[in-house]
Structure 1
Amino acid sequence: MKLLATFKHISSKNADYGAAEAYLTFEHDEFTMKPTLDENGRLVPREGYRLATLNCGEEDFAVACLRSNLRYGKNQKREDVKSHHYIISFDPRDGTDNGLTVDKAQSLGEEFCNEHFPGHQAIVCTHPDGHNHSGNIHVHIVINSLRIEAVPLLPYMDRPADTKDGCKHRCTDAAMEYFKSEVMEMCHRENLYQIDLLHGSKNRVTEREYWAQKKGQLALDKENAAREATGQPTKPTKFETDKAKLRRTIRQALSQAGSFDEFASLLLREGVTVKESRGRLSYLTPDRTKPITARKLGDDFDKAAVLALLTQNAHRAAEQTTAIPEYPHTQKERLREEKTAKTAPADNTLQRMVDREAKRAEGKGVGYDRWASLHNLKQMAATHNFLMENELLDLDKLDAAVESSRKALSEARESLRGIEQSISDKKSLRKVVNDYRRTRPTIDAHKKLSGRKAENYRQSHEAEFIIYEAALRQLKVLAPGKKLPATSKLNTEIEALISEKNAAYNTYRTAKAEYEQLATAKRNAEQILHGTPSRQKKHEQER
């Protein structure tokens, strides 16, 4: 499963709403989904979870859902979707790198539920770890499919029934796209790790394939353990699904082929037939009668990606030369080069040197001082190699590089903030437009009345009048003299801005990493030459 922030949806036809709460609060077997029992046959509670219910009043989630279903006469058939289960899973690194806690994740989950599933009875539960024990905090949001309150028309809704009480929630493709963009926006806002959820993945692993791999691996491990106990040779230790094997076969063929015909020929040797239909590729394995489309395997296997890689292979083959080195290395020289390569510190090991005198003044002991001495020697070598590789041995040139990197980081930060502000403005405009259109029929109906009827009508719809007048004032500021924009157009513009923000965010992270590395190298170089953390401070003292 992906480790970065992800979002998925599961619909359930189970009429027992209490089963959802039991799954969230008690441990379950990851394969059979049955509750885990202790030695006394009792349920084992989960540890460290947070739980909250929304729109349930004083009642239990299951009881509140059943009452609502009976009141509106919905969810009474076996085939009815009774509930929707959404899961927001955060990156395991968010806890250590970005300060994400279970309480904060629970707060984000409740905020997400209130904003995107208003009018639904819901249960929000946050777990501190996943079944794979990777340490990823994740939030479960389970909502009753029935809506008990009328709500405004939200961006992912496309018909009037989606706003009415007594109607049911629909998780359409458009809704999932919207929810994913909102999860990405939330991760950006909270400075959490995330991936681009809107543009697919290189390897598209479905929930079904994931669990097939897990179950197959467990069975293989048991079989190998039994073979080892009887002294028999074991099988390969890693289990692969049929799709995983097909991906490996395709990648192997792509690494060798320089044209599509050669690619198809290499696959055919392995028993795989590649076909093209309507501009899309599909792959047929010997054990199947129906081909597997590239879309089900991942973005790396569609026509555009395959042709791009084949073109790249062809260009690389044309540029390769067979020139023989003029002075062949002896065995001794080759071993010396290998040893140098192994002992040379990598770029990513560059760290700040320790001010040993300051640490001694703080009361650090001999052991720490000995470690700091060795650490400083390693960082001196790493700093020298970094500066030499980047031709920055001249401190003035290094100062210029640090300043240039700082400006690039500042520009990337300002660009990111500008896009974030544009997204915020667009969302504000979208909300105002929705409020205006939702309340306009009430205003038009009031204009047709007069006298006492008009006064009574306004009093009974005072809330709509207040919202309408506020929206009208905001429209004069946000879109003065312009035609009222369509909600669908605003949604498209917001999604485009979010995609633009993803690219800007990645640029910002790269610029930040580059600046931090250069700043560390500069500080280390100044400490090596002057014995002080900052050459600038020394100059200021000399003045």
Structure 2
Amino acid sequence: MHINKGKSLAQCLADRTDYAKNPDKTDGGELVSSFMCDKDLVDSQFLLSKKIYLQKTGRTQTNDVIAYQVRQSFKPGEITPELANKLGYQLAEKITKGSHAFIVATHIDKSHIHNHIIWNSTNLSCDKKFRDFFRSGRAVAKMNDLICLQNGLSIIENPKGKSKHYGSWLEENKPLNLSDKLRIVIDEVLAEKPKTFDEFLQKMQSKGYEIKTGKHLSFKGSEQKKFIRLRSLGESYAEDILREVIEGKKEHKPQKRVARYNDKRINLALDLQNKINQKGAGYERWAKTFNLKQYAKTINYLTENNLLNYEELKIKAEGITEEFSTISDSIKSAEKRMTEISILQKNIAQFAKTKAVYEDYKKSGYSSKFKEEHITEILLHQAAKDHFKSLNLKKLPKMADLKTEYATLLTEKKKAYSKYNSLKKEIVEILNAKANVEQLLDIQTNEKQQEKKRTEKSL
């Protein structure tokens, strides 16, 4: 992010951060988190750091970068806003390595939840700048993919550089929309070989579609709020082409969409009863085939792992879930403490470097002239003291002890991550297998009925 022509540095910082924090996009500001800055004063604090940097280094540059931004998007329906913000924070920590203040604003105004991650180009010590590097975008993408995979989220597995925009990729991989459903119904009606175009329209009406004639032929299903024009469905569905297909002059070429899923993994079976009526016969055929494949994979998994008894499967799933949660909590705890240590080390070093100047400031009787001449050192010293006060530190720890603790935590974290990654695949498979068994045998419904009977008896 650079300074816009005709605007001041302060105006540009305010514009960029205000857009990210927009209350209408971030649930009233609830979905905004920050590191080493106040989210409500982030633009002012970024600005202050740049003034200190100038006084401290004397370096000025034209068209300098004032901040950096990453936009992190998630597949629709796959993540909660709260988790998205949390993962955005993790990504920002990896990018900045705890050296730059940042905010993470999660926008929920679109179908795809996405984060705006903005960090200060000036570091926390106000003596260096963040510098972009060759293929940094690829490095950030790899960091993001790792975080997503660790949380069971989708990634773009085979990106093709700039050949396809992410929005285009998302468009191809999203669930069936109203236009897709209309195409499927038209394909089904044409498969019934209507003799005339009027017969075709009658069959469409019998499928629940309202028809509007005129300059453009349009259809409206029960789920639609507006009519969809045939010409918007693609060349194969244009009115004149459909007429020629019905007259036998042309062969219909359906616009196919391939359902994508990983054949090697057990996926959740679809709840057919709740979805088939909404999506039509074409979807029903695909969904039933999909479910048969998932049930077959589930049975193979249960047989290979000797989990054919439901109660044993349930106990095993609960055990793995608890173990996974414990390891996850230990990793978060270690990361939190490592961040605290890193920040504390920087403040201790900053405190030591500026102590002599601050002592002279006190001896001067807190002279305004002395303060103006040494404003950078004084502000840094006060900031360090404020940090120690926030931690209720009466005595500063030794740097050597902090380094030892950090190294120990790092070793423990690496070991925990190794176990975390091995458990991740196992927990996804066993939970999906358990859910498929429950749907196949309707166990949840039976358990609820039994619970209801027990409650009625107790009353």
**Normalising by structure 2, what TM-score?**
0.43
Return the TM-score normalized by structure 1.
0.38
